[in-house]
Amino acid sequence: MNTEFDPGAHTITLYRDRRGEYRWRRRAANGRVISDSAEGYKRRADNEHGMKIANVDWMACDVRDLSGGPHE
């Protein structure tokens, strides 16, 4: 049994919801959502900060920013 975790197979997507708030979602290689922001953020920087705290290995993941607009 392979118990090794491959964070490179995970994707974190930053996006805006219907209310215009910033959110993030992490998907495993099989496409299942394994974690998310659980709340919307008014500021993009707050969303990114929350994502980095919740995903300490975020640099090893495929991070996709679909939220649009300039970084704050």
Q: How confident is the model at residue 68 (pLDDT cuts 50, 70, 90)?
A: confident
Cβ–Cβ < 8 Å for 58, 51: yes
For residue 15, the cross-strand partners are: 23
pLDDT digits (tens, 9 = 90+) for 50-62: 999 999 999 999 9
CB-CB neighbours of 24 under 10 Å = 25
Q: pTM for the full model?
A: 0.81
pLDDT for residue 71 is more than 80: no
CA distance 37 to 19: 15
Q: What is the mean pLDDT of residues 1-22?
A: 78
**In what helix (H) or strand (E) does residue 54 lie, and over which residues does it extend?**
helix 44-54
Degrees to nearest 5, angle at CA 15 with 12 and 18: 140
- How many C-beta atoms lie closer than 10 Å to residue 61's C-beta? 17
